[in-house]
Structure 1
Amino acid sequence: AATAGGELAGLLEATGAGLLTSNSGRGAVPEDHEQVIGNFATTPAVRALLADADVLLTIGTHFRSNETADYTLGLPGAHIQIDIDKDALGRVYPATHALHGDAAAALTALLPHARPAESGWTDRVGAVRTEVRALLHDNIGPQAAICDAIRAALPREAVVARDVTIPSSSWGNRLLEMYDPRDNVFPRGGGIGQGLGMGIGAALARPDAPTVVIAGDGGLAVHLGELLTLAQERPRLTLIVFNDGGYGVLRNMQDRYSERRSGVDLATPDFELLARACGLPYLRIAAEEHAGPVLGEAIASGGPTLVEVDLTALGPMKVPFTPPVRIPGQ
């Protein structure tokens, strides 16, 4: 679907339908489009929308566990599935109508048969879009200021590379708007530590646009050597390190599901000293009011900057982030 954005947008306009995306599908239609709900399929409001929908059309989506709440997401009985891989059709969820083919060609063939949705449906889509974004914005507490500041400081064409960390998994993969699939860079396999290397590659490939990398202190520790690559190549890259002194996602899971912590509280470097040792500019965010000025300065600098977000000083999310996993026996 990422290569069929024009056809997909045409189908949205013709039908008044809402568009949900997986993480990989973000930006196929720019996320400021009023019918793009985005990567919010498992929220209560979207579940209710799916329950009332007459038909669901899915394009190239493989229904990963993270994006179906461990396969608990309910779909409408009428499910049209398009995929270029015939083995993907009906593999995870049943498909009432399985269409084996290229996304753009299939959507072009469907478009003449499109009819507008019933009165009020598109308005409901817009209301759900607004609701899920507002709820997430509220739930992430002081980190909302950072999300807002990143988008405000970036031009419309800019790469956002995200390592696997709480800010990415909670709001970077959903609330931080994407306008083009090529701007949406993240490790699709889910492994930590890859974000900085991916961001450096993206920044060097597109030198005329800024790149932002979102990483955690634990994930960055896996590839600290890439800081030297960043210092050597000096691309237009702002590395935002969210420092909570450990593996935050695993810590939250252990706090919720077990009686003790193990291997989640980590020794963390002094990032100001580390940046200085690598010859990198350093800035720090320790309060919501720091986000706009600090990120504005870093992104406008035209070169690399390490920005540390001190999560202890900034304060906790309103609702702690825990992945949608099921623990056997619980």
Structure 2
Amino acid sequence: MLACELIARYLRDAGVTVQFGLLGEGNIAVATALDELGVRFVGARREDAALGMADGWSRRTGTVGLASVTHGPGFTNAITSLTEAARHRTPLVLLTGLTARSSLHNSQRFPHEQATALTGAGWREIRGLPWLAEDIGAAFAGAVTEARPYVLGLDAALLYDVVDALLLDGTLPESLPRHTLAARPVLPGDDAVRAAVDLLAAARTPVVLAGRGAAGPGAAEALQSLAAHLDAPLATTLLGKGLFAKADNHVGICGGFATARGADVIGAADLVLAVGASLNPWTATELLDGSTIVHVDADPGAIGRWRRPDLAVVGDAQLTAEALLAGLRERGVAAATRAPLPPFDPAAESRSSARGRGAPFEVSDVALALREHFPADAVFASDTGQATADMVTYLEIAGPDRFIYPIHAGSIGLGLGTAIGASLASPDQWTVHFTGDGSLMMALQELATVAEQRPRLLIVVLDDEGYGAEVQYTGGRGIPTRLARVPHPDLGDLARAFGLDYHPVATLDDLAVVGTVTSGSGGPALVHVPIHPESASRFFRDYSAVGKVASWDGGE
């Protein structure tokens, strides 16, 4: 048996069922051996998309995804997507070839380990044949226990060595041992719980804010029970979107992506109970100024990283919520009388008054119109950028596991890869990918992957004929916007060339096609929605374009 074949066996034993990659001499032998073992190969057209697909797969399934690239430029092409996955803390493994140590003048020679460290991902190099199982197992274990991607480096010189003798003498196992890795929930301290109960009992207009750290089993239900006892509205961070989608007292995202209604409610809070939320600058905007902050997190290092709370409670989200509710009930604390929540008013959210409701549209009107057509069980997998921001604000998502939003690296163009991976992870459900025209042009080649794989993927292109964020940045500073306006080929011709159904939108009523497509069993399709070049999403208008929030730097 060759080393490449045994490596493939170990990868399969580690739980890999799909591999995403782009092939070169440093990885094609392992990829082929994996394919022969029944591990499906999904070929990307660029390495950043291959890693994005593994990222989307992992976010959707909760399992460790596998991406595979060759050495040198194959690896460097994946660095932005690797940075995105590391900042999101996605557990995945990137198998990368390494040029042979003896090949000193190889043009693809590159300092892979040093570059990996800059992204925030972990590194493990296969040290030689006797350590194949140990090093592969360590990479997968590290991805899970450290909640981040691991790069697994493989020297090309090892690929075709014979390993039979090492298997016969027991140096290498026939299969990779599997280990169950589980963390014990952190119990909150009694003193901290009592102090939090004191603050909650005194609050008149509390709000319960949950982040991705509260997405574990049972946590959302426990927080809803606590909020009901307090008669408190529920809100989420950006990455907690969908936790409380069905709750009547849910007011949406807190911070830059808040609705006008949510901003009013959260801004009036005298206390914010933040659970599993990092309180980074995108969440802890001026909406929280003047509120008492009680910050709950199982990781003590997460508390106070961005904003110093009035009270810190180190504990598991569910256990802490249950303890707080028990404490309030034990003391006979009832909710303060407060006015009913204002209803969601689309007219108050729309910004169409200046230019009317015809095409090209205001991005807010598109998002608000899509609320009645976006399928409740669909996976929301959006690119970032000005054109898509209102979709994040206004569309309802059934749960955080259905919200795929690669925002952490601050780069447009990553969304299509992650959307493909998410859609292949959920073959019986539709994935809706929102993207701008500029973002799509950066990843256009991956439409070939869509055509080849035929996932249930609906691509909605919000076309403002340029780079919308740059139009806002330059226009807001009195700089001519002409360089940010970039023409593109006819999207209908492009869609049909790649074998996708094409649906142009001329009126807001035409957006019903989103519901029509996603209620059927057809193949991938592209919906083209013209957006006014001057249209600004709520977030870019109120926060990013005016410099209140400069960049995203992770968090919950």
Task: Give the TM-score of the pair, scaled to structure 2.
Answer: 0.52
Say whether the 8 Å CA contact 1:243–1:310 is kept in structure 2.
yes
Gap change, CA 1:134 and 1:97, over 3 Å in 2: farther
Take 2:398 and 2:493, find their aligned partners in 1: how far apart are those partners? Answer: 36
What is the CA-CA distance between 1:188 and the residue it aligns to? 3.3
Gap change, CA 1:45 and 1:310, over 3 Å in 2: closer
2:323 alignment partner in structure 1: 109
Matches within 5 A, 1:1-330: 1-3=214-216, 4-30=219-245, 32-41=246-255, 49-50=265-266, 52-69=268-285, 72-114=286-328, 115-121=333-339, 123=340, 126-127=341-342, 130=344, 134-138=347-351, 142=361, 143=363, 146-148=366-368, 150-169=370-389, 171-189=390-408, 190-261=410-481, 263-292=483-512, 294-302=513-521, 303-311=523-531, 317=535, 321-322=540-541, 324-325=543-544, 326-327=546-547
Amino acid at match of 1:290: D
Amino acid at match of 1:174: T
What is the CA-CA distance between 1:187 and the residue it aligns to? 0.8
Q: Find the residue that maps to 1:218 and give its secondary structure.
A: helix
Take 2:335 and 2:310, find their aligned partners in 1: how far apart are those partners? Answer: 20
Gap change, CA 1:50 and 1:199, over 3 Å in 2: closer
Say whether the 8 Å CA contact 1:40–1:174 is kept in structure 2.
no
Say whether the 8 Å CA contact 1:12–1:19 is kept in structure 2.
yes
2:10 alignment partner in structure 1: none
Take 1:85 and 1:107, find their aligned partners in 2: how far apart are those partners? Answer: 16
Take 2:265 and 2:371, find their aligned partners in 1: how far apart are those partners? Answer: 28
Take 1:89 and 1:224, find their aligned partners in 2: how far apart are those partners? Answer: 41
Select between 38-47 and 74-83 the one with higher mean Cα deviation.
Answer: 38-47
Say whether the 8 Å CA contact 2:242–2:400 is kept in structure 1.
yes
Amino acid at match of 2:473: M
| Higher RCO (C-alpha under 8 Å, 6+ residues apart) | 1
What is the CA-CA distance between 1:306 and the residue it aligns to? 1.0
Deviations 1:213-240 (A, max 9, x none): 1000111111111111111111111100
Select between 191-200 and 36-45 the one with higher mean Cα deviation.
Answer: 36-45
Say whether the 8 Å CA contact 2:384–2:407 is kept in structure 1.
no
Gap change, CA 1:231 and 1:185, over 3 Å in 2: same
Where structure 2 has 5 or more consecutive residues not aligned to the other structure, the ranges are 1-213, 549-556
**Structure 1 vs Structure 2: percent identity of aligned residues?**
29
Take 1:37 and 1:295, find their aligned partners in 2: how far apart are those partners? Answer: 25
Deviations 1:5-36 (A, max 9, x none): 11121112221111122110111112x42211
Where structure 1 has 5 or more consecutive residues not aligned to the other structure, the ranges are none
Take 2:265 and 2:460, find their aligned partners in 1: how far apart are those partners? Answer: 35
Deviations 1:224-267 (A, max 9, x none): 11111111111111100111111011102211113222641113
Gap change, CA 1:48 and 1:151, over 3 Å in 2: closer
Take 2:370 and 2:291, find their aligned partners in 1: how far apart are those partners? Answer: 40
Take 2:367 and 2:230, find their aligned partners in 1: how far apart are those partners? Answer: 32
Gap change, CA 1:288 and 1:74, over 3 Å in 2: same
Say whether the 8 Å CA contact 1:249–1:322 is kept in structure 2.
no
Q: Find the residue that maps to 1:38 and give its secondary structure.
A: strand
Say whether the 8 Å CA contact 1:47–1:74 is kept in structure 2.
no
What is the CA-CA distance between 1:77 and the residue it aligns to? 4.6
Say whether the 8 Å CA contact 1:147–1:176 is kept in structure 2.
yes
What is the CA-CA distance between 1:289 and the residue it aligns to? 2.4
Take 2:391 and 2:261, find their aligned partners in 1: how far apart are those partners? Answer: 20
Say whether the 8 Å CA contact 1:149–1:295 is kept in structure 2.
no
2:151 alignment partner in structure 1: none
What is the CA-CA distance between 1:78 and the residue it aligns to? 2.5
Take 2:543 and 2:364, find their aligned partners in 1: how far apart are those partners? Answer: 21
Gap change, CA 1:134 and 1:80, over 3 Å in 2: farther
Take 1:304 and 1:244, find their aligned partners in 2: how far apart are those partners? Answer: 23
Q: Find the residue that maps to 1:98 and give its secondary structure.
A: strand
Say whether the 8 Å CA contact 1:20–1:41 is kept in structure 2.
no
Q: Find the residue that maps to 1:20 and give its secondary structure.
A: strand
Amino acid at match of 1:223: A
What is the CA-CA distance between 1:137 and the residue it aligns to? 3.7
RMSD of equivalent CA atoms: 2.7
Say whether the 8 Å CA contact 1:253–1:322 is kept in structure 2.
no
Q: Find the residue that maps to 1:207 and give its secondary structure.
A: coil
Take 2:230 and 2:511, find their aligned partners in 1: how far apart are those partners? Answer: 40
Amino acid at match of 1:59: V
Take 2:351 and 2:541, find their aligned partners in 1: how far apart are those partners? Answer: 16
Amino acid at match of 2:338: G
Gap change, CA 1:117 and 1:167, over 3 Å in 2: farther
Q: Find the residue that maps to 2:273 and give its secondary structure.
A: strand
Say whether the 8 Å CA contact 1:145–1:291 is kept in structure 2.
no
